Structure 1
C-alpha cells in the first residue's frame, strides 16, 4: 500500500479550522459556498445547503434533499460517495473543501459496506477488483464460503447464540473446598446462571456458589488441577535395540537450532517407521528428508498420513520458514485444529499471523483456520484484525493481508462499525501527535484543546503530553461502564507515534507465557505483562499500570542522597511507608517474587537498557520492567563497549528490600529463598526452551531490527545453556546471579548518570 500523501483532515493541513468555507455543486448547475463548522455532519450541511438553494434561481429543478448524497475527492485521489450522513466534515479526509450533490446509483448497501471495509483495512476495496491475478480472484470467491461456514456455525444457536458471541451472558461460582473441606480437583461440569440486568461482562463474586439445578442454561466443562504422578516406564514395545532407542531420544530432545549430522539424518530416515511411536520427533525426521528426491518425498507424504497428531507447541515449529512444503503445513494446521484451545490461540496469535508470510498460496489451511477462529471468537477476531492491519504499510504483504482483512470485515457483521470507530480514533491521534512534534512547547496546549472535544469522555485535566521527542500522549478517560464505581472510574493508556512497539509486544507476550509455565509448576512469581498493541507503522498503544512509580521517582523522593544512589535504603523505606503492619510482609513477599521472575526473564531474553526509569514498583510492592527496546543481548554501547556489564539488574536497593532492611543482605534466609525462586524459575523455562526458540523463529519474518536471523535467537540457547546438563546449566546460572549482585555497583553508576541526564533534560 503506498503511503498516504497527507495524514491531515485536509490536504497539507493536520486539523481543519473551527469554521471553513465549503463549495457545493448542486444538480441544477448552481455552485453555492457555505460556511460550515468543522464538526458539522453531512446531514446538517445538506439541510443548510438546500435551505440556501431556495434563495437562488432554478431551485424548482431540485428534488427532495433525501434523494441526494454528497460525493467528493479524497486525499487518496479517490472519488468517494458519502452514504453515511452522520459523518463529520473533518472526518472525510477531503482533498479540498468541495462537495458535489448527486443522485445515488447502484447497490447502496454494497457501496456502504465496501467503504467501511476500505476504511478499516486502510486501502480501497476497488483496488482488489482491479487485480487480474486468477489466484487473487479465486481466493476472494472461495474464502467467502469459509466465512459463511464460520458465521453459520456462530449463528446456529439462534439469537441467543449470536448474543453470546458479542457478550457472555452467564455466570457461575465454585467453592474451592467442598463440604468435607477437601480441595476440589478433577473435571466438573458447571451449569451457569443467566446474568442479572446491569451485570453484563462483570464478575459476580457475591453470587451463590451452587450450580444451576435445572441445567437448561449454558454450562462449561472445567478442570481443577489434578496431581499426575510420572512413571519412568516406557509404554512402548522395545522394537529397536536399546542403544538405537536412546539415540533417537537424544536427537528428539535437541533444541530446534541444534545441528543434525548427515549420519544422524541417515539414522533417522532408516528408523522413520518406528519414529511414528515418538510423534514429537517429526521436525527432526523432516530435516532428514532429501527434498530433491522424489521417492523420499513421496514416502514422507505417505508417512504423514499415519503420523499421530502432535501438541500445538510442537506443531507450530512446522509453520516457520524451515518447512515451506504445503503437506507439512497442512499437517501442522490439522494438529492446531485438534488441540489448540481459543485461549492458547490468543496466546500465540502474533506468531501465527506472522507465519502467514511463509505460505506459498493465498488460500491455504492456516488462513482458513485463523479466519474461522476470528469469526467465531470476537476477542480473537479483534486482535487478528489489528495484527494484520498493523502491517498494511508493508508492500510485501499488503495484498495478502488486505484480502484477508476484507474477508474478515465482510463476515464480522456489526462489529465492523466498532472497528471503523477504532481506526478513526487512531487516525485522529496520529494527526494530533504529528502536530505536537512540530509545534513549540508553549503552543501544544492550544492544539490539544482544539482537538480533544472529539473524545467526549476524556478527562482533560488528567491528559498530558509526555516529554520524550516523539511526543507520546498520556490519555485518561471516564469508564462508561454503568458499574464503573465498583471497578475503576477511569481508564488510562499511552499513545505512541514514532516508536516501533512490536518488540515490546513480543517481549511482553513471552513474559506472559513464562508466567503461565511457572504457575503450572506451582511458582507464583507475580509478573505484570501489561497490555501493548502495535496498530501501524511505528504506532501503538500501551496500558498504564495503576499506582506504579519508576525506581528513579522513588529514589528522588529520598532527597539528593537517594537520587545520586548514596542511600540504598530509599526504596525499602518507601515500601515500608506505603505498607503498614501486616501489609509490609505481603509487600516484601510480592516484591521478592516479582523481582525473581524479572531477573530470570530479563537474563534469558537478554533485555538491555535497564535503568531506573524503566523499572517500576507498585504501591503494593510488585516490581515490573517496561520499555523493551533492546533484547537478545543487543545492548547499548559507549565507545564500542557495552554500557551494561551485569547479566541482569540486582542492585543493593533490591537486596535490601528482599532481606527486609538487613545490612548483610546476602546472608539472610530471605535472600536464600529469593535465590531458590530464581533457580526453580530458570530450570522451569529451560524445560520449555524449544517453545521459546520456536516462537522467536516464527517472528523472523517480522523485520524487527534486533530479530533478523537464527544467530539472534541463538542467544537464548546460550542463556539457557542447552548444550549442558541440567546441573551444569544451574551452575552456570548461579554464577550469573553471583555476577549480578556483586556487580551491582556498576549498575548504580549507570543509574547516577541516567538520573543526572534526565534532570538536565527537564
Structure 2
C-alpha cells in the first residue's frame, strides 16, 4: 500500500451491533481523598471528603446507557451491574446494543447516566454525560473516551445536547491534552518505545497529581472504550453514493430512510383497520372465500406457535375470512387473537362466532387461559372445553391450571369452580389441588385469589355426605388431607433437631431413629391411616425407624420408609431448605412426555418419579433404588460390568440380556431428547442414576431453559461411557439409540403447542429459571422444537446434535474436575 493511500470502511456496510465497554469512574478529588456521594436539600450533587474509618455508607453505582439518533431515543436503555468497590468504581463491562452500525446517523449520540442505589430502592442521580459517536470529520470514534459528568444532571440525548461529555477546548488543560495523546498511543497510532514510555507515564502521573491538588472541588469522569476496526469507519447513509453526487433529484429511485416510529402504535393504521372491519360489511364477509395465495398465507399463520404474535396484516386477513374459517378448529385461537376487544360490537360478534366454531382440542383450550386473553367469556369457553378431559389428562395439566388462576379477573372464577368440582370426584385430584394452592398462598400478590379456591375446596369437601368409596364422609376426607400437612410439619421439626446434632451422617441417622422410636413414637404407628401426599391413593400407617436414614448432603434430607395399609412399604425423600418447585415442574413434563410417547406406541422406559412441593422451601420426592453413574464407574469401571451383575447372559450382547441392553438404550434416548428440549443444565455423572433393570434417569433439575453453571455445555449429556455401553459409535446398538432419539423428537414436536402452552401458563409462577425472564425462557423452549424444519430435516438436525454432544471435549474436562472436587470433599 502506498503512503498516500487511505483505506476505510463505510458505516452503512457494517452489519454488526454497536458495542463499547464502560470502564470505570475516575474521581479527581482534592488531596486525593475518596469522595462520599450525597445530595443536599436541593437534590444537587456534592462530594464530601471522608476518612476511610468513617461509618458512612458506600455508594452502589450503575451506569445507564441509552442510544439517541437525531435527538430521539432508539431502543431500550441498557444498565451495567452494580459496583460498590470505591473510590475507583470499575465496571469494565462490555455493552452490546441491539442497534447496528449501519443504522446510525451522523448525529447519533450515547447518553450515559450514573445512578446510586445505596440508599435503598430509590435511585439517586449522580450525573450524566453525552457523546457523539461520529466526530466532525464524520469518522466513527474509537478507543478510550474520557467523559466529564454533569453532576446532578441526567444525560440529555437531544441534539445539540446540554450535557456534553467532552470538555470544551477553551477549558482543556495540560492533563486533557496529554490524555488525548495517550489515547492515540493505546490505539497504536504512536510508536511504542519501552524505556521512553516508562519515563513519560511517570511524568504523566505527577502532572495528574498536581492537577488534582489544584482543583477546589471533586470532579467525576467516566471512562468509556469504543470498539475499534482494522480501518477507520466513515459515515455514509445506506443507499447513498459516497463518490458521486446523488441522482435522486433527477430520477425516480426509491431511497430507504430510517423511521424511528417503526413498530410503535400508529393511529392512522388503527383507524384504517377499524374501518376495514366495519360491521356493516358483516353480510358481505360471510360469502368471502380466500384466494389460493390467501389460503396459503392463512395456513402459514395457523402453524405459528402459540407464543408468536400476529402482525396487523395477518390479523386483518383472519378477520376478513373469519366465516370461512369456522370449520377449522385450529383457527379459533388465532382468530381470537386478532379481535379488537375494546370495540364492544366487534367483541360481541367474535363471542357469537366462538360458540358456533368447530370445538377446539383441550391443548388449544389451555392457550385461551394464558394472560394474553382477558375476556371472561373466552376463559369460560376454555373451561367448558377442559370439562371433556378425563381425570388422568387433567392431572397432567393441574399444576399449570392452578397457576392460571393468577390471570383470572375475579377471585371466584369459572376455572376455580371447575377445578374444585373435579377434585370432589377424585381424591387424588383433591389432594394435589390442595397442595398446589397451599404453596401459592405465600405469594402476597395473589394470596387472596388462591385462598378463595382453597376455601371453596374446603367448604365443598365438608358438604359431601359420602366419600369416594361411600365409607367416609366429607369431614373425614378433608381431615385426612389436613393430616398430610401435620405430618410434614412434624418432619420439618425432626430435620431441625437432626441438623443440630454435631458429628457425621451416622450420628445424625442415629438421632433420627432415636426420635422416631422415642419422643415421636406416634410417627411409628399412626392413630389412623394418612393418604400419602405423593400418591394419595396409597394409605400409609407409620414410619419404619430402622429403615430410615439421612443423606450425606448439606441440607441433610431424610430418607424415610413408610408402611402402607396393605402391608407393603414405600420410600420417600423429605427435603427442607430447598425450593423443589422447579424439580416438580420438570418431572411433571417428563411424565407428560412419557404419556405422549406411549400414545404413539413408543415406550422409552422413562422414570418419572413423583415430586411434590409442600412449601416454598420444602417437599417430598419418591425414592427410586438406584446408583449414580459416578459411583458405578468408580466401582465397576464400566456400565456393562455393573449390569452384568444383575442380568448376565453369556449369549447376549456384551454379556447381558438383550432386554436389559434395550432398556438402557431406550431410556438414554428418552432422557437425551427431553433434557435437550427443556434445556436442562448442570448435567454430571452424580445426577444421572441407573436402576438395576437398566433404566437410566436424571435427577436434580436446578437449571432449566438453557441455564447452566458450567461454561460451554453440550446440547445433551452423552458421556463416552454411555456410548461404550452401547458398543461404541460404530455399533448397531448406537445406531438404534440415534433412531429412537430422532423418532421421539419428532413425536414431541407434534405436541409442541401443548408444551409451549403449559410453560406459558407458568409465566407468573415463582419458579427461579422462569420468573427471571419468562418471555426469553419460553422463546428458548420454542427454538428447541425447530418448527421451521420438516420431520426429515429434523432427523439430520438431531443426529448432528448427538454427534456434537459425544465429541465435545470441554464438558469431559469439566466432568473430570467435578469428580476430583467430589473426591476431595
The TM tier, using the shorter chain, reads 0.5 to 0.7
Three-state SS of the structure 1 residue aligned to 2:718 is: coil
Question: Out of 261, 266, 286, which is 2:311 matched to?
Answer: 261
Paired residues of 1:722 and 1:729 also in contact (CA < 8 A): no
Question: Out of 387, 390, 394, which is 1:345 matched to?
Answer: 394
Q: After TM superposition, give the deviation of residue 460 of structure 1 in Å.
A: 2.0
Question: Out of 498, 504, 526, which is 1:436 matched to?
Answer: 498
In structure 1, the gaps of 5 or more residues are 1-236, 563-569, 660-664
Residue matched to 1:685: 748
Question: Against the structure 1 CA distance between its residues 447 and 478, is the aligned structure 2 distance closer, same or farther, given a 3 Å change threshold?
Answer: closer
Q: After TM superposition, give the deviation of residue 239 of structure 1 in Å.
A: 4.6
Residue matched to 2:608: 529
Residue matched to 1:646: 714
Residue matched to 2:632: 554
RMSD across aligned positions (CA) = 1.9
Paired residues of 2:582 and 2:768 also in contact (CA < 8 A): no
Paired residues of 1:392 and 1:536 also in contact (CA < 8 A): no
Q: After TM superposition, give the deviation of residue 724 of structure 1 in Å.
A: 3.2
Paired residues of 2:742 and 2:794 also in contact (CA < 8 A): no
Which has the greater radius of gyration? 2
Q: After superposition, what is the alpha-carbon deviation per residue over 1:588-639, rounded to whole angstroms, capped at 9, x for unaligned?
A: 00000000000111111111111111101111111111111111001114xx
Q: Distance in 2 between matches of 1:511 and 1:498?
A: 24
Within a 5 Å distance, the mapping from 1:34-433 to structure 2 comes to 239-337=289-387, 339-412=388-461, 413=474, 414-433=476-495
Residue matched to 2:224: none
Is residue 579 of structure 2 the alignment partner of residue 500 of structure 1? Answer: yes
In structure 2, the gaps of 5 or more residues are 1-286, 462-473, 525-541
- TM superposition score normalised by structure 1: 0.63
Paired residues of 2:673 and 2:745 also in contact (CA < 8 A): yes
Q: After TM superposition, give the deviation of residue 342 of structure 1 in Å.
A: 1.3
Q: Distance in 2 between matches of 1:462 and 1:476?
A: 6
Q: After superposition, what is the alpha-carbon deviation per residue over 1:438-486, rounded to whole angstroms, capped at 9, x for unaligned?
A: 44236644365235423113222221122222221111233331xx3xx
Paired residues of 2:666 and 2:740 also in contact (CA < 8 A): yes
Paired residues of 2:288 and 2:321 also in contact (CA < 8 A): no
Whose helix proportion is higher, 1 or 2?
1
Is residue 735 of structure 2 the alignment partner of residue 735 of structure 1? Answer: no
Q: Distance in 2 between matches of 1:424 and 1:433?
A: 15
Is residue 731 of structure 2 the alignment partner of residue 668 of structure 1? Answer: yes
Three-state SS of the structure 2 residue aligned to 1:492 is: strand
Is residue 653 of structure 2 the alignment partner of residue 580 of structure 1? Answer: no
Q: Distance in 1 between matches of 2:731 and 2:429?
A: 47
Higher relative contact order (CA 8 A, sep 6+): 1
Q: Distance in 2 between matches of 1:750 and 1:757?
A: 10
Question: Against the structure 1 CA distance between its residues 411 and 292, is the aligned structure 2 distance closer, same or farther, given a 3 Å change threshold?
Answer: closer
Question: Out of 544, 550, 553, which is 1:465 matched to?
Answer: 550
Paired residues of 1:502 and 1:704 also in contact (CA < 8 A): yes
Q: After TM superposition, give the deviation of residue 400 of structure 1 in Å.
A: 2.1
Residue matched to 1:74: none
Q: Distance in 2 between matches of 1:356 and 1:479?
A: 35
- TM superposition score normalised by structure 2: 0.58
Q: Distance in 1 between matches of 2:564 and 2:820?
A: 38
Q: Distance in 2 between matches of 1:472 and 1:252?
A: 48
Question: Against the structure 1 CA distance between its residues 729 and 717, is the aligned structure 2 distance closer, same or farther, given a 3 Å change threshold?
Answer: farther
Paired residues of 2:412 and 2:452 also in contact (CA < 8 A): no
Residue matched to 2:191: none
Q: Distance in 2 between matches of 1:289 and 1:756?
A: 59
Three-state SS of the structure 2 residue aligned to 1:535 is: strand
Q: Distance in 1 between matches of 2:760 and 2:609?
A: 23
Residue matched to 2:77: none
Comparing 239-248 and 294-303, the one that deviates more? 239-248
Q: After TM superposition, give the deviation of residue 238 of structure 1 in Å.
A: 11
Three-state SS of the structure 2 residue aligned to 1:630 is: coil
Q: After superposition, what is the alpha-carbon deviation per residue over 1:46-82, rounded to whole angstroms, capped at 9, x for unaligned?
A: xxxxxxxxxxxxxxxxxxxxxxxxxxxxxxxxxxxxx
Q: Distance in 2 between matches of 1:494 and 1:652?
A: 31
Paired residues of 2:305 and 2:753 also in contact (CA < 8 A): yes
Three-state SS of the structure 1 residue aligned to 2:409 is: coil
Three-state SS of the structure 2 residue aligned to 1:716 is: helix
Q: Distance in 2 between matches of 1:490 and 1:241?
A: 66
Q: After superposition, what is the alpha-carbon deviation per residue over 1:87-118, rounded to whole angstroms, capped at 9, x for unaligned?
A: xxxxxxxxxxxxxxxxxxxxxxxxxxxxxxxx
Q: After superposition, what is the alpha-carbon deviation per residue over 1:9-67, rounded to whole angstroms, capped at 9, x for unaligned?
A: xxxxxxxxxxxxxxxxxxxxxxxxxxxxxxxxxxxxxxxxxxxxxxxxxxxxxxxxxxx
Q: Distance in 1 between matches of 2:782 and 2:291?
A: 31
Comparing 601-610 and 300-309, the one that deviates more? 300-309
Residue matched to 1:752: 816
Q: After TM superposition, give the deviation of residue 429 of structure 1 in Å.
A: 0.9
Q: After TM superposition, give the deviation of residue 437 of structure 1 in Å.
A: 3.7
Question: Against the structure 1 CA distance between its residues 363 and 259, is the aligned structure 2 distance closer, same or farther, given a 3 Å change threshold?
Answer: closer
Residue matched to 2:697: 624
Paired residues of 1:572 and 1:653 also in contact (CA < 8 A): no
Q: After TM superposition, give the deviation of residue 407 of structure 1 in Å.
A: 2.2
Residue matched to 2:784: 719
Three-state SS of the structure 1 residue aligned to 2:758 is: helix
